[in-house]
């Protein structure tokens, strides 16, 4: 009886690319590629630990870009950021077909591995797009614009360039509270660092006036005779409401 | 009166304008500036009626010199009046933008003192935002009918989008409900905006830095159900606006009874299903290659409220069906109920790799419940035996009657109200 094989990696994108390299060069067919921190003991499968290797990762990275496409590279990076347990194996299966078909792979929607990758990519891209609108900054006493979010996927790095282009002349922080990380922008460049949820934040004087204005605006814009909460909830899922000024508390 | 109270009054007065889209412009930020425009548009919130909020949509003032019967701001209406100062509009816009509440400003107004005076105030606000505050976010400006063309030209250099609301689909309707407005006063500025856009495109071919003129194009709004105009007349008008004036969007707004004037129809709720049918037909004109005469005619001037316009068309042209998914041309795939633009594109690109079956279609996003009557896959048909329109219609209506028709219709209309996320209409 041949047991199934699973790869464990360190959770980094390089680690994941190293796992892809390993599957190719060891001619193995793992059924799972998962972050070691999320791995449950499993007696039925054999486990192989993947040690991140920058050179191997780099070779896979360049191969994807040259032999498939830049879009494919973006797709696998977004899938990696989804942090879904199946993201690793979805990437491997997608790349296997990608290396056969080249840039045309993204058109092969009827192929299950391609379709799975497209769906997961879309989920991450959708959340990024939604949050570009749903993020709310509060101005703190220090003058910094601070925003807390709790996204399903690890998207703050995807959102940082958007706000850096819009608000180049302000200090701002984009805080993924669930993951304990944040983008810090210093009017020049942005970096990602760890950040615990602050105990209490002190708002700048006058900040509440703008919040009140926004809430009033929001209330007054709805047309009572067209009320349709089901439509609203479909467009703006309830899980995002807690960090909105207009829906919070 | 403080700014908060003014905001309440002037947001309330602006909410019946349905457009809230922030798309179509890719204005870049400047050094030391604030904001840019995202070509795809971004929604920032959704109100309880399910409409997206993208822009700070306000009137500069609701003190109107006109007395249009259908309008909540008519001068004879007894309601609180307010007028923003330019400084107040600028302050709220900048501070809302920095907090990521909005993509930019949608500025409209009642006609204060005169059309020219109102436009001059607009220009003052736009100059302050763009030149003083270095604001490069999205600006949608309502052109005031009857204002001097020079003012319109000036405003167009600062705005991303401009619109002139037609409001009532025919001159007769205008005469009855808005006697102070004339149709040529509305179409005139539309034509001026179109000419300004064309001229700017020509100039920019020679001088690359010559200013853009309303880069996101112009739109308009029609009120549906305040007059007796048929769907056919409305759709004909939209088609003309798209073809002759190159409008980006025509918005349809179900008439909300805001007045009990005897000239207005007595209705208890806005005609939302009809509005929805018009949006669906509008999409068919713009993205599906239909023309208005295929959808309606003098003999059949209104849409079937139970069936979407594409289904209705397919049943009247049943001799063209069923079509074979693996062979049909793209423009014909688009005409199948249950296949949208996106799924038609995916069918065309996927069938290069393999022959598609019904399972594949489902994965590609085709709504088989609708499409199955009109297609074959590898020669197989999975609809009903009869190709009689009556029988197919009964089956389709049977499927959808399980849902509340109002909800169903809104489900079909992803994005009709100016929301930017789901622009493809799944019909």
Whether residue B290 lies inside any domain: the answer is no
Report the number of distinct structural domains present in chain B: 2
Q: How far apart are CA B308 and CA B278, in angstroms?
A: 10
Nearest to A231 among B8, B12, B410 (CB): B410
Contact between chains at B4 and A107 (C-beta distance less than 8 A): no
Q: How far apart are CA B283 and CA B289, in angstroms?
A: 9
> Of B109-113, B387-391, B413-417, which has the strongest mean pLDDT?
B109-113
Please answer whether residues B226 and B266 qualify as being in contact, where contact means their C-beta atoms are separated by less than 8 angstroms: no
pLDDT at A197: 86
Q: Could you tell me which residue, B166 or B317, shows the higher pLDDT?
A: B317
pLDDT at B21: 85
B 186-205 near A (Cβ less than 8 A): none
pLDDT at B401: 55
Banded model confidence at residue B211, pLDDT cuts 50, 70, 90: confident
Banded model confidence at residue B427, pLDDT cuts 50, 70, 90: very low
pLDDT at B426: 28
Whether residue B162 lies inside any domain: the answer is yes
Nearest to B4 among A111, A166, A213 (CB): A213
Please answer whether residues B154 and B131 qualify as being in contact, where contact means their C-beta atoms are separated by less than 8 angstroms: no
Average pLDDT on B391-414 reads: 59
pLDDT(B376) > 90 = yes
* A7: its two tokens: 């790869």
pLDDT at A2: 57
Q: Provide the 10 A C-beta neighbour count for residue B317.
A: 12
List the single range of A11-20, B221-230, B291-300, B368-377 with lowest mean pLDDT.
B221-230
Q: Could you tell me which residue, A141 or B145, shows the higher pLDDT?
A: A141
pLDDT at B210: 81
pLDDT at B419: 33
Whether residue B113 lies inside any domain: the answer is yes
pLDDT(B265) > 70 = yes
Domain boundary (B270, B289, B321) is at B270
A 66-95 near B (Cβ less than 8 A): none
Q: Phi/psi at A147 (nearest 5 deg)?
A: -135, 135
Task: Clarify whether residues B14 and B92 are in a common domain.
Answer: yes
Task: Clarify whether residues B232 and B354 are in a common domain.
Answer: no
pLDDT(B409) > 60 = no
> Which chain B residues contact residue A227 at CB under 8 A?
48-49
Please answer whether residues B245 and B217 qualify as being in contact, where contact means their C-beta atoms are separated by less than 8 angstroms: no
pLDDT at A199: 80
Q: List pLDDT tens digits, range A155-199.
A: 999 999 999 999 999 999 999 999 999 999 999 999 999 999 888
Nearest CA in chain A to B7: A217
pLDDT at B421: 29
Whether residue B278 lies inside any domain: the answer is no
Q: Could you tell me which residue, B171 or B235, shows the higher pLDDT?
A: B235
Evaluate the CA torsion angle B356, B358, B360, B364 in order and state its sign: positive
pLDDT at B206: 85
Whether residue B283 lies inside any domain: the answer is no
Beta bridge partners of A173: A146, A184
Cis peptide upstream of residue B322 (ω within 30 degrees of 0):
yes
Please answer whether residues B214 and B197 qualify as being in contact, where contact means their C-beta atoms are separated by less than 8 angstroms: yes
Banded model confidence at residue A132, pLDDT cuts 50, 70, 90: very high
* B53: its two tokens: 């909020």
pLDDT at A248: 67
Task: Clarify whether residues B156 and B205 are in a common domain.
Answer: yes
Banded model confidence at residue B117, pLDDT cuts 50, 70, 90: very high
Whether residue B80 lies inside any domain: the answer is yes
CA distance A9 to chain B (A): 31
Please answer whether residues B400 and B427 qualify as being in contact, where contact means their C-beta atoms are separated by less than 8 angstroms: no
Q: What single-letter DSSP state applies at residue B251?
A: E
Q: List pLDDT tens digits, range A69-92.
A: 999 999 999 999 999 999 999 999
pLDDT(B146) > 90 = no
pLDDT at B43: 93
Contact between chains at B47 and A218 (C-beta distance less than 8 A): yes
**What CATH number should be reported for the domain holding residue B25?**
3.20.20.70
Task: Clarify whether residues B17 and B142 are in a common domain.
Answer: yes
Q: How far apart are CA A111 and CA A187, in angstroms?
A: 45
pLDDT(B412) > 60 = no
Q: Provide the 10 A C-beta neighbour count for residue B22.
A: 31
pLDDT(B151) > 50 = yes
pLDDT at B82: 95
pLDDT(B37) > 80 = yes
Contact between chains at B50 and A137 (C-beta distance less than 8 A): no
Nearest to B15 among A145, A169, A220 (CB): A220
Query: What SS3 class is residue B244?
Result: helix
How many Cα atoms sit within 13 Å of B84 on the Cβ side? 31
Whether residue B277 lies inside any domain: the answer is no
Task: Clarify whether residues B260 and B366 are in a common domain.
Answer: no
List the single range of A1-5, B20-24, B293-297, B343-347 with lowest mean pLDDT.
A1-5
Cα dihedral angle (A123, A129, A132, A133), rounded to 10 degrees? -110
Q: List pLDDT tens digits, range B303-334.
A: 999 999 999 999 999 999 999 999 999 999 99
| Tokens 């909540």 -> residue | B72
Domain boundary (B204, B239, B270) is at B270
The domain containing residue B212 runs over which residues?
A: 3-270
Banded model confidence at residue B413, pLDDT cuts 50, 70, 90: very low
Q: How far is residue A76 from each of residues A71, A95, A124, B379, measured CA to CA in Å? A: 9, 9, 11, 37
Task: Clarify whether residues B141 and B39 are in a common domain.
Answer: yes
pLDDT(B31) > 90 = no
Question: Can you list the positions of beta strands (E) in B176-304?
Answer: 218-224, 249-254
pLDDT(B128) > 90 = yes
| Tokens 């010199």 -> residue | B65
pLDDT at B405: 41
* B88: its two tokens: 């107040």
Task: For the sheet with B249-254, list strands across it.
Answer: B55-59, B104-108, B138-142, B161-163, B218-224, B249-254
Banded model confidence at residue B177, pLDDT cuts 50, 70, 90: confident
Please give the model's pTM, rounded to 2 decimal places: 0.89
Q: List pLDDT tens digits, range A20-75.
A: 999 999 999 999 999 988 888 777 788 999 999 999 999 999 999 999 999 999 99
Contact between chains at B95 and A210 (C-beta distance less than 8 A): yes
Please answer whether residues A117 and A152 qualify as being in contact, where contact means their C-beta atoms are separated by less than 8 angstroms: no
Task: Clarify whether residues B98 and B174 are in a common domain.
Answer: yes
Task: Clarify whether residues B399 and B262 are in a common domain.
Answer: no
Task: Clarify whether residues B354 and B205 are in a common domain.
Answer: no
Contact between chains at B3 and A236 (C-beta distance less than 8 A): no
Task: Clarify whether residues B237 and B341 are in a common domain.
Answer: no
pLDDT at B321: 93
Please answer whether residues B136 and B26 qualify as being in contact, where contact means their C-beta atoms are separated by less than 8 angstroms: no
Average pLDDT on B287-291 reads: 94
Q: Which one, of B192, B178, B21, lies nearest residue B111 by Cα?
A: B178
Task: Clarify whether residues B203 and B150 are in a common domain.
Answer: yes
Contact between chains at A111 and B419 (C-beta distance less than 8 A): no
The 3 state secondary structure assigned to chain A is: CCCEEEEEECCCHHHHHHHHHHHHHCCCCCCEEEEHHHCCCCCCEEEEECCCCHHHHHHHHHHHHHHHCHHHHHHHHHHHHHCCCCHHHHHHHHHHHHHHHHHHHHHCCCCHHHHHHHHHHHHHHHHHHHHHHHCCCEEECCCCEEEEECCCCCCHHHHHHHHHHHCCCCEEEEEECCCCEEEEEECCCEEEEECCCCCCCCECCCHHHHHHHHHHHHHHHCCHHHCCHHHHHHHCCHHHHHHCCCCCC
């Amino acid at each position: 009886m041949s047991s199934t094989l699973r790869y464990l990696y360190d959770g980094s994108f390089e680690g994941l690319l190293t796992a892809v390299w390993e599957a190719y060069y060891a001619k193995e067919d793992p059924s799972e590629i998962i972050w070691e921190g999320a791995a449950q003991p499993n007696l039925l499968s054999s486990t192989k630990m993947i040690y991140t290797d920058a050179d191997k990762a780099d070779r896979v990275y360049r191969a994807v870009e040259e032999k498939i496409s830049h879009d494919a590279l973006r797709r696998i990076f977004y899938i990696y950021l989804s942090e879904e347990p199946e993201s690793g194996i979805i990437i491997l299966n997608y790349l296997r077909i990608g290396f056969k078909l080249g840039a045309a792979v993204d058109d092969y929607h009827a192929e299950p591995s391609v379709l799975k990758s497209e769906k997961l990519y879309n989920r991450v891209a959708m959340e990024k797009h939604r949050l570009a609108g749903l993020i709310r900054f509060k101005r703190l006493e220090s003058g910094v614009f601070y925003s807390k979010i709790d996204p399903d996927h690890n998207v703050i790095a995807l959102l940082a360039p958007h706000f850096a282009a819009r608000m180049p002349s302000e200090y701002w922080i984009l805080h993924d509270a669930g993951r304990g990380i944040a983008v810090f922008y210093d009017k020049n460049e942005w970096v990602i660092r760890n950040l615990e949820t602050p105990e209490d934040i002190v708002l700048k004087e006058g900040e509440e006036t703008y919040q009140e204005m926004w809430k009033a605006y929001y209330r007054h814009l709805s047309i009572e005779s067209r009320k349709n909460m089901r439509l609203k909830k479909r467009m703006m899922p309830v899980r995002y409401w807690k960090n909105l000024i207009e829906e919070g508390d | 009166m403080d700014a908060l109270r003014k905001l309440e009054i002037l947001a309330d007065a602006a909410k019946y304008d349905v457009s809230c889209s922030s798309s179509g412009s890719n204005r870049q930020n400047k050094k030391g500036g604030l904001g840019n425009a995202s070509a795809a548009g971004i929604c920032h919130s959704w109100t309880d009626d399910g409409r997206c909020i993208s822009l700070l949509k306000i009137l500069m003032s609701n003190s109107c010199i006109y007395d249009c019967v259908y309008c909540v701001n008519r001068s004879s209406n007894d309601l609180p009046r307010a007028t923003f100062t330019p400084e107040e509009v600028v302050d709220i816009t900048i501070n809302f933008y920095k907090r990521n509440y909005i993509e930019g400003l949608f500025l409209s107004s009642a006609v204060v003192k005169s059309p020219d005076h109102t436009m001059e105030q607009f220009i003052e606000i736009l100059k302050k935002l763009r030149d003083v505050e270095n604001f490069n976010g999205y600006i949608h400006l309502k052109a005031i009918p009857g204002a001097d063309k020079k003012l319109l030209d000036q405003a167009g250099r600062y705005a991303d989008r401009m619109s002139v609301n037609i409001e009532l689909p025919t001159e007769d309707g205008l005469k009855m409900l808005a006697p102070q407005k004339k149709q040529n006063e509305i179409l005139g500025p539309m034509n001026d905006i179109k000419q300004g856009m064309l001229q700017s495109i020509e100039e920019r071919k020679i001088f690359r830095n010559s200013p853009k003129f309303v880069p996101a194009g112009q739109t308009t709004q029609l009120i549906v159900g305040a007059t007796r105009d048929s769907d056919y007349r409305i759709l004909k008008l939209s088609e003309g606006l798209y073809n002759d004036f190159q409008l980006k969007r025509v918005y349809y707004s179900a008439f909300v009874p805001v007045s009990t004037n005897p000239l207005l129809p007595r209705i208890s709720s806005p005609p939302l299903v009809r509005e929805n049918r018009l949006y669906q037909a509008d999409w068919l004109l713009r993205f599906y290659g239909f023309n208005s005469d295929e959808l309606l005619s003098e003999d059949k001037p209104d849409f079937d409220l139970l069936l979407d316009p594409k289904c209705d068309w397919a049943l009247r042209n049943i001799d063209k069906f069923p079509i074979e998914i693996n062979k049909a041309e793209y423009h014909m795939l688009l005409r199948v109920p249950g296949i949208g633009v996106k799924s038609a594109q995916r069918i065309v690109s996927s069938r290069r790799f393999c022959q598609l079956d019904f399972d594949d279609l489902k994965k590609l996003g085709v709504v088989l419940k609708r499409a199955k009557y009109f297609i074959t896959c590898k020669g197989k048909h999975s609809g009903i035996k009869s190709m009689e329109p009556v029988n197919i219609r009964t089956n389709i209506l049977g499927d959808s009657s399980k849902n509340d028709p109002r909800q169903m219709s809104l489900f079909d209309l992803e994005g009709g109200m100016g929301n930017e996320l789901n622009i493809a209409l799944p019909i």
